[in-house]
Amino acid sequence: MGVDRTARGRSGRDPGAGPSAAGAQDRVHQLATDSRADARLRGGRIHVQEGVSGLSGRGAEAAAAIRLGRPDVREAVHCPLIQREAGEAEGATAAAAAAGAALQRAPGQEPAASARADPAHPGARQRRDPGAARRGQLRADLRRGLAHQQHRRRRPEPRHHPQGDRAAEAGEVGRAQPVRGRPASEGTAGGGGAGGAGGAGGRGGAAARRISAREIAALTNGRLVGAPDVTVSGVAPLDRAGPDDLSFLAAKRYLQYFQQSSAAIVLCKPDLVAEDAGGPACRVVVRDPHVALLSVIPVLYPEPGWQPGIHRTAVIGAGVVWQEPVAIGPYAVLGRGVRLGKNARIGAAAVLGDGVQLGDDVQLLPHVVCYSGTIVGSRVILHAGVRLGSDGFGYVPGKNGEMPRKIPQVGRCIIGDDVEIGANTTIDRGSVDDTVVGPGTKIDNLVQIGHNCRIGARCLIAGQAGIAGSTHVEDDVFLAGQAGLADHVTIGRGARVTVQGGVIGDIEPGATVSGYPARTHREFLRAQGALYRLAHIVDDLEALVRRTDEPQR
């Protein structure tokens, strides 16, 4: 804050101002120089340092005169904070107006007798402690003004949409070009789309609708037994189902739960439950309850809608092309030359390297990473944390203490149509060939597939399975949890590897293998049975040895 005296002569008065204005300017000058606000005379101006909250006494009164709207004084004092506060406070409260009027009176003028008699009047307070209460109020106002200014300084600057002029952030990042020349959208990809963890690929939190037994029978081609107007709004197992739930009975071992269940409607096989067997009275008799559920659940729990658009924090590389509509979530990164099919949904913080191609109706949940050159087909779901196209484990061992040398991984990772890959699964790119996952294959969480592998169509791979490099898995193969396949082996079409099966050689088509090393399931069961009997065999053998060692009588 400074009082400008250069244009007013030695007295600091404005030659064009009237007597009242000149007196007010002298008063402000005197108050400012006498205050404890660290005023300094520099170059014909009086500068009060920025510590506005430290103003007290008559210096605070001078600042208050500016805040309370004295235009003649505001011209003389150069402090952006106080001038802004003056503009915001003009006419704000009756108390401010009264204080301003008191400051504008001549130094010797006294308030009216009626006003002096009022204990709440500023004049009455001045007689007890002249200016103390007013200075305290003004000091508090100035502190609030300074705090507001500091808060505004801490506010982050608004960020612009990255598709425009923020090329420097990602290096050669330019404006993406949608297919058919349609303009890039700047909507917010949120809701049930790509915005958050409950986005693509899930119905998380979707409100269920109510459907009747008649509708369920029509959806499943089943035979209705019981009242057709009974309704349900959810699905639950027999032992936890409530009066608003649909349940199912698919095996005899669950009959005890059926008879005690509170479910409103039960899907059941025709040979399991007689009409007078007790349990829920409303039933829909179907051939396979599990298959019937596939028709009912999408009706009970409709998939939430998603909002097309590109979040303003997404980084879009040069030459990115898509077919609208698409949804690109917060902080997603799309490298140069990425191609997105229609209805592609890219979750928050997903990363697509240069040249990645996604088909139609692809859903990437948060934190999915597709390395450069990865190709993903249509109707693919990649759950959170999936990594496609990372380098395979290829090294040439060193000799005589030399470090292992890395084999360049120059192949691609190619995912077919209708594939679903669970959370935190990794599929390596090929070394000199491509790693390929066939159409319709479903892969669970935490699965590792090495470089150059070829996985056929419609395979089911359960959690924590591991497939070493250059292994060929033919169509319709099932790998149970923690199954392990050695490198360079072939698993025949329709083969099954049970839990923790360790495959070290080729498996015939249609075979079921178990154990380590994997053998036919029948041989595995015989070996396990013999192992359990081994303890008794040892006991019998020891008894026989003792008898032979005894001296003959």
Tell me the C-alpha distance between 462 and 442, whole Å: 8
Name the 3-class secondary structure at 55: coil
Instruction: Give the tokens for residue 306.
Output: 């998603």
Residue 492 · residue 518 · CB < 8 Å: no
Name the 3-class secondary structure at 268: strand
- Of the chain, the end-to-end C-alpha distance in Å amounts to 125
Among candidate residues 451, 472, 488, 521, the one labeled active-site is 451
Residue 289 · residue 225 · CB < 8 Å: no
Instruction: Give the tokens for residue 426.
Output: 């990794």
Name the 3-class secondary structure at 164: coil
Tell me the C-alpha distance between 313 and 349, whole Å: 10
| 451 catalytic residue (yes or no) | yes
Burial of 551 (0-12, 13-18, 19+ CB in 10 A): exposed
Give the residue among 479, 481, 470, 507 at the shortest CA–CA distance from 492.
Answer: 507
Q: How many CB atoms lie within 10 A of CB 409?
A: 21
Hey, CA dihedral for 116, 120, 121, 124, is it positive or negative? positive
Dihedral-angle region of residue 191 (phi above 0 means left; psi in -120 to 50 means alpha; beta otherwise): left
Hey, CA dihedral for 264, 269, 273, 275, is it positive or negative? positive
CB environment 449-473: b (16+ within 10 A), e (fewer): bbbbbbbbbebbbbbbbbbbbbbbb
Catalytic residues: 451
